[in-house]
Amino acid sequence: MALSWYILLLYLHIFSVVLSIGPYFVLFPLLIKIRTAPFELLPEYLEPFRITVRLTKHAGHVLVATGILLTWLTEWTWKTSWIVFTVLIMVASLYFIARAFSPLLRKLRAPHEDRNVLVNQLRSALIWYVIITLSMMWFMVAKPSFW
């Protein structure tokens, strides 16, 4: 079997989806540690969050580039309903990730009064990001037709 550009791009696209979603599941157990760790140790527990956000950003670049190329190589158009919804959700997720994680991580790194409130907000942000990205993935896999 010959390796085509389409297959190579598809695997790259799928791999970038895994890198965009997967690392966030590892962060849930860290929330317990962040909630109870002494303030001096917080940077060690917050670093995986920073790395995950950075990894997601770069994986997202690959995801978008391969998605554009795959759309260009196939019969799908930019007016296809599942592509439109995926792009809309992706734009929302970019806004969400920029507003949700970085400010919370900055607040947790600085001396603060109520860590539980911040950790609860971080947990909520994690849950919402996973829901948003999984919904994008559902549109890409199920390819529902609304029009």
Instruction: Give the residue with greater pLDDT, 125 vs 97.
Output: 125
The mean of the pLDDT values for the chain is 91
Considering only CA atoms, which of 97, 86, 87, 91 is closest in space to residue 130?
Answer: 97
Considering only CA atoms, which of 119, 126, 72, 75 is closest in space to residue 96?
Answer: 126
Q: Dihedral sign for Cα 114, 49, 46, 131, please.
A: positive
Distance CA 128, CA 18 (A): 17
This model's pTM is above 0.95: no
pLDDT at 59 over 70: yes
Considering only CA atoms, which of 91, 86, 10, 100 is closest in space to residue 52?
Answer: 100
